[in-house]
């Protein structure tokens, strides 16, 4: 049975708490771009995707790739909630030889589908997976999250061309339009807008949602199943640092650290 919107909202808050727990006090962590994705990742793992934490390699599963691999914490938060690995692993994130690396590592972490982190590559990997699954006649879908800063990488547009040319309609990309890159607002630093027009011109079916409204996200994900013959893009407007009041819209929390006071404040705001 599918969870209700209220249940999903509660899960998204839990994911944010897990993210804050992983960042902790006095260590750098990608808070902003992880928190902007909490609802989207919740909708994918807890509503939309067919997957099995007891059998992460189940061959008919849907795949999820985080092309913006620096937001790994939000994926770890979801995988931990689902029991892909013991929840205590999140306390050891980025420790020497830890299961949970600074960027997603399929060699160490159950549930991670690819190694991402060098930006711009995940969408190509996702497209290749989609092509492979189609060759095998699988119904599985591949979901891939890219960032609005990340799409400055030329390879994203190589992947956009390829997915369109090969009509990969089992590929759904979600663009985390949080408006901030590491050094400031995208509009001021290196403007990648307009977005929808670009993806449409590359042959993708495009829809736009509020990336924090679960109702909109799940409707868009369900609607995408009906589109055939082309890859699909959901452009999700989000707030970087969403849910942590003092970090919202603040580029410094792209990869910042929390003081003890900020940590307590962040947790209190999410409980």
Partner 1 sequence: MNTQNPRQVYGETLLELGRENKNIVVLEADLSKSTMTCLFEKEFPGRFFEMGIGEANMTSFAGGLSLTGKIAFTNSFAVFAAGRAFDQIRQGVGIPKLNVKIVGSSAGLSDFGDGSTHQSVEDLAIMRAVPNMTVLVPMDGIETRKMTRAITEHQGPVYMRLNRNELPDLFPEDQEFKIGESYLIRDGNDVVVFANGIMVSKAVKVAETLEKDDISVRVVNVSSLKPINEDAIKAFASGVKGIVTAEEHSLIGGLADIITYILRGKGIKIETIGIDDKFGTSAHNYDELLEKYGLTERDILSAIGKIIT
* Residue 129 near partner 1 by CB under 8 A: yes
* Residue 132 near partner 1 by CB under 8 A: yes
Identify whether the C-beta of residue 131 lies closer than 8 Å to the C-beta of residue 166: yes
Mask of contacts with partner 1, 91-110, x by CB under 8 A? --------------xxx---
Binding partner 1 (rule: CB under 8 A), the pick from 98, 131, 152, 252 is 131
Cα 258 from Cα 31, distance rounded (Å): 10
The partner residues of 180 in beta bridges, in order of sequence, read: 185
* Residue 173 near partner 1 by CB under 8 A: no
Which region among 18-26, 113-121, 182-190, 198-206 touches partner 1 (by CB under 8 A)? 113-121
**Distance in Å, CB of 193 to partner 1, minimum:** 23
Q: Pull the structure tokens for residue 100.
A: 């949970």
Binding partner 1 (rule: CB under 8 A), the pick from 24, 102, 110, 117 is 117
* Residue 113 near partner 1 by CB under 8 A: yes
Q: Pull the structure tokens for residue 151.
A: 């799409």
Q: Pull the structure tokens for residue 37.
A: 């994705």
Cα 270 from Cα 97, distance rounded (Å): 30
Which region among 37-45, 91-99, 160-168, 243-251 touches partner 1 (by CB under 8 A)? 160-168
Cα 200 from Cα 194, distance rounded (Å): 11
Binding partner 1 (rule: CB under 8 A), the pick from 4, 118, 183, 215 is 118
Q: How many CB atoms lie within 10 A of CB 114?
A: 21
Which region among 32-40, 155-163, 203-211, 225-233 touches partner 1 (by CB under 8 A)? 155-163
Which region among 89-97, 116-124, 211-219, 247-255 touches partner 1 (by CB under 8 A)? 116-124
Alpha helices (H) along the chain: 5-23, 31-35, 38-43, 72-82, 122-135, 154-165, 186-189, 196-201, 214-224, 260-270
Which region among 74-82, 83-91, 128-136, 230-238 touches partner 1 (by CB under 8 A)? 128-136
Cα 40 from Cα 216, distance rounded (Å): 10
Residues within the interface to partner 1 (CB under 8 A): 105-107, 113-118, 121-122, 124-133, 135-136, 138, 154-155, 158-159, 161-162, 165-166
């Amino acid at each position: 049975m599918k969870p209700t919107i209220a249940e999903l909202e509660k899960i998204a808050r839990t994911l944010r708490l897990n993210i804050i727990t992983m960042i902790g006090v006095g260590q750098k962590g990608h808070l902003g771009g992880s928190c902007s994705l909490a609802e989207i990742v919740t909708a994918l793992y807890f509503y939309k995707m067919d997957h099995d934490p007891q059998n992460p390699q189940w061959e008919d599963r849907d795949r999820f790739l985080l092309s913006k691999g620096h937001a790994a914490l939000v994926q770890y938060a979801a995988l931990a909630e689902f029991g892909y690995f013991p929840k205590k692993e999140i306390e050891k994130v980025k420790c020497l030889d830890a299961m949970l690396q600074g960027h997603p590592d399929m060699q160490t972490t159950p549930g991670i589908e690819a190694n991402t982190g060098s930006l711009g590559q995940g969408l190509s990997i996702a497209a290749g997976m989609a092509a492979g699954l189609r060759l095998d006649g699988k119904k599985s879908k591949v979901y891939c999250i890219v960032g609005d800063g990340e799409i400055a990488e030329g390879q994203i547009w190589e992947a956009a061309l390829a997915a369109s040319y090969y009509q990969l309609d089992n590929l759904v990309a979600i663009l985390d339009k949080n408006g901030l890159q590491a050094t400031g607002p995208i509009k001021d630093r290196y403007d990648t807008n307009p977005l929808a027009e670009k993806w449409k011109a590359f042959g993708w079916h495009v829809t736009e949602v509020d990336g924090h409204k679960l109702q909109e996200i799940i409707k868009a994900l369900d609607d995408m199943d009906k589109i055939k013959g082309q890859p699909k893009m959901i452009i999700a407007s989000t707030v970087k640092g969403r849910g942590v009041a003092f970090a919202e819209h603040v580029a410094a929390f792209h990869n910042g650290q929390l003081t003890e006071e900020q940590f307590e404040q962040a947790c209190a705001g999410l409980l």
